[in-house]
Amino acid sequence: MDPYFLELANKAIRTLKPYQPGKPISELQREYQLSRIVKLASNENPLGPSPRALTAASTALAECGRYPDPEAYNLKQALAKHCHVEAAQLTLGNGSDNLLAMLVQTFVQPGQTVLMPEYSFATFTIVSRTHHAHVVYAPSKEWRCDVQALLDAITPETRMIFIANPNNPTGTCINQMELVQLLANIPKQVLVILDEAYYEYCQQADYPHSMALQQQYPQLVITRTFSKAYGLAGLRIGYAISHPDIANLLNRVRLPFNISLPAQAAAIAALQDQEHVQRGLGINQQGIKQLRQALVQLNLKSIPSVTNFITVDFEQTAAPIYQALLKRGIIVRPLLPYNMPNHLRISIGTPDENDYLIEQLSKILSKEYSHD
């Protein structure tokens, strides 16, 4: 890049690396002529959204000449009821990543510290560094967040701790005891942001009761999203549950029309169709089993996952396997940006998509294909 504009950019932005999303289907289609493309790269719901959400969104499109309700009154009422919280505790975001940025913008001064475990969601680093925060990574243990290591890394400069639970890209989670240990021992000036983008998927019995803990520990902020279990990733809508005063402060930063009209309508309808969510969770459970069995047969190690993707350890550089899968029309996620060059993250698809992945992966790994 020509240094001219680079030097005009904020210092914090100059060394920032852009988020590397899963390869879009349209891009792969441009590169190779493929009859079938299966995207298992961004942890989307393979069933897509509820048909009721789609109908609501298209009905709302007719009203798009007007601005959406800036307070999203109806959606907040529906969410408050669904989550058993007060509407005043909710803040809506254009995707939950929008909320993560607002949280740093609101509560972290330039030069103060944001703390997170190693192998955390890349967006945490981007939103922190964009707002001139200093980012510190606490060591993880066997791909899991180590709460004691986080506590040990806290300094007087620490203002915020990010934990994705379950975590992306590892698929692991912390339990109730660990979260309580953290919340009970943090200093007053530290907020804990618990990103529960995948909470619907986690079946673990000791998964934290974060909502109840939020009542007890007002420094806890929970973020959730319609992008994963609700299958609405393309409409961009997420929410934060916090102490009402935190919500009040966030709403000073939030731009007034950040949730589009179709997104508000779709989210309300999606909440009303819990059967669709359950169907998605069923497909996921089945898919996790199917993939886990196949990985064992292929002699591949993976990180035990409590969510809708599996992170596979190829015990060698995984880039050639990623490329070979692409050539066969399958998009998964390389984890080089996470310093995990031997791993690939594979989203759970429909049973049919999982079969296709397993079939192609075994071909790639088998001796016959080692020279192609």
Ligand X SMILES: *Cc1c(COP(=O)(O)O)cnc(C)c1O
Q: What is the contact surface with ligand X in residues (CB under 6 A)? A: 43, 95-97, 121, 164, 168, 195, 197, 225, 227-228, 233, 238
Q: Identify the bridge partners of residue 241 per DSSP, sorted by sequence position.
A: 90, 222
Tokens of 183: 């919340």
CB atoms within 10 A of CB 137: 16
Beta strands in 212-342 (DSSP E): 220-225, 238-241, 301-303, 309-313, 330-331, 333-334
**Residue among 43 and 112 whose Cβ is closer to ligand X:** 43
Q: Which residue number has the CB closest to ligand X?
A: 95
- Choose between 127 and 261: whose C-beta lies nearer to ligand X: 127
Residue located via tokens 């319609």: 226
- Select 173 or 318, whichever has its Cβ closest to ligand X: 173
**Cβ at position 237, least distance to ligand X in Å:** 7
Minimum distance, C-beta of residue 347 to ligand X, in the bound complex (Å): 10
CB of 371 to ligand X, least distance (A): 37
Nearer to ligand X, 191 or 364 (CB): 191
C-beta of 232 vs 364, nearer to ligand X: 232
- Minimum CB distance to ligand X, residue 193 (Å): 10
CA angle at residue 340 from 291 to 287, to 5 degrees?
15
From the CB of 230, what's the least distance to ligand X, in Å?
10
Directed axis angle between helix 244-253 and helix 96-107, to 10°? Answer: 100
The Cα 86–Cα 266 span in angstroms is 21
CB of 63 to ligand X, least distance (A): 24
Distance CA 372, CA 370 (A): 6
Cis previous bond, 166, omega within 30: yes
Given the complex with ligand X, which of 219 and 223 has the nearer CB atom? 223
- CA dihedral for 301, 303, 308, 314, sign (positive or negative): negative
